[in-house]
Amino acid sequence: RNEYLLTSFSAESNKLTSQVVHNGLTAADHVILGEVKVWGAGNIRVTEATLIDPEGKPHQLTPQHDLETQELIIDATSKAFSLHLPFTISWRTAF
């Protein structure tokens, strides 16, 4: 029936990029980006994160970075950004 959303993600050098492979959802099946977790984010504190929408508009996000586990958590829930659109999230460290 092709009523699904398939999105692929790639990460490299402080950047996570999404690509919509297939979007067969209706408008009523809106899927919202929530919490993004990046493992192996390093042991230098991440101080800022930015979501770039398809129009190139930046949206500031607040990162949480556990230096011991090197897990980076970026919560984008408050932005109500739809997963059927491609996006990029980048982050910067204190240095």
State mean pLDDT over 32-42.
94
List C-alpha distances in Å: 2 to 7, 26, 54, 83.
14, 11, 24, 17
CATH class (in words) of the domain with range 5-93 = mainly beta
Would you state the structure tokens that stand for residue 48, as one six-digit string? 């800022």
State mean pLDDT over 50-79.
96
Residue 90 scores a pLDDT above 80: yes
Q: What percent of the chain has pLDDT over 90?
A: 86
**57-67, pLDDT tens digit by residue?**
999 999 999 99
Is this structure's pTM higher than 0.85?
Answer: yes
The count of other CB atoms within 10 Å of the CB of residue 57 is: 8
Query: What are the domain boundaries of the chain?
Result: 5-93
Q: Where are the alpha helices (DSSP H) in the chain?
A: none
- pLDDT at 29 (0 to 100): 82
